Amino acid sequence: MSVSLFEFSFEEVTAADLAQPLQQLQHYFKQMGNPPRLSKDKSIRVNAYGQIENERIPPSIIPMLPHLQEAGYIHYDGEFVSLREKYRDYHDIGEIDQWFTDDCYKALENGACFYDLLSLRTTFSLHYNISPDAPITLSEVFSQRLDLIALELGLDHFLENPKAAGFKMDVFKKLDRATKNRVVRDLLMLTTPKQVECYFELHALCKGIREYNKDAPWINHETISMLDLAILKPTFFEAVCLAESQEEQTIHQILNYAGAMYSSQLDPEYVLYQGEKRRYDIKQDLKKTFEELNPVE
């Protein structure tokens, strides 16, 4: 550890002397979101709203850093400071959740749409850290909160502002007409987001025979499926809107925003192609054409 002589006090320091600087350092780390470490001179952090902040450890603490290190409260190398885990003062999860919730509703009141809230989730996630012993992660907290807001906003929010679903991925748009119509008819029968999510977990959409470099020696061709399959992955908000929609045109519109998962190893239960539905088992059907798949009874 390299420490300047100007930082070090040669007077004997007692535990009582360290109590206040330790408390100040705990407060500073908490204010900064409890990152793994901070610079002694200047720390750049993204606050909960995505703004860059330049902060520094209070000057009154700096001469005490070597003593705090010696007492086992921190790790200090002369440049960076890390408060040891047992001495950190974390924000309460419920407290962070309430701040996030309040800011989400403030943003909506000021003209933001649901998709904008995802950026707020990112900045909150970057700013705050919670105890590693917490029973839930912040990512789970924010996701659960956004799911509740999505349920509250529902289809009306999308119809008022389609940007609430993000950007059009147009995966669904490129499928054959018969398959698109089949999916829309199927979705008209579903009434909950969970049903919608399960539907797309079970059904892959086929674009035909997979086209790829069949002569490439670096590819294990035995693992490549004959069919070019995709599984649509609507967001939870999109699933909410699909479950509420009773208009075919609206369902078409929502599905154009859905992304998709592509892989030569997809293992759905069913495959849809040209409006027809057939069973699929990757162990038996990897190298089969659609016509060779077992029909649904």
Whole-number pLDDT of residue 118 = 96
d(CA 186, CA 252): 12
Is residue 170 classed as helix, strand or coil in its secondary structure? Answer: coil
Write down the pLDDT at residue 11. 60
Domain boundaries, the chain: 15-87, 93-165, 172-292
CB 16 within 8 A of CB 67: no
Global pTM reads 0.86
Task: Check: CB of residue 80 under 8 Å from CB of residue 5.
Answer: no
Q: Please name which of 73, 72, 88, 74 lies closest in space to residue 133, comparing C-alpha atoms.
A: 88
**CB-CB contact of 255 with 172 (8 Å):** yes
The two tokens of residue 133 are 């012993």
Report the pLDDT value the prediction gives residue 5, as an integer from 0 to 100. Answer: 42
Nearest residue to 74 via CA among 82, 66, 86, 62: 82
At residue 17, the pLDDT reads 87
Which helix (H) or strand (E) element contains residue 144? helix 138-160
- The pLDDT value given to residue 44: 72
CA 291 to chain centre: 38
Sign of CA dihedral 142, 145, 149, 155: positive
Tell me which H or E stretch contains 53: strand 52-55
Distance, in Å, from the CA atom of 138 to the CA atom of 159, rounded to the nearest integer, reads 30
Mean pLDDT per block of 10 residues along the chain (297 residues) reads 47 83 94 89 75 82 93 93 95 96 96 96 92 94 98 98 94 95 98 98 94 83 90 97 97 97 89 97 94 91
| Main-chain dihedrals φ then ψ at residue 260, nearest 5 degrees | -150, 160
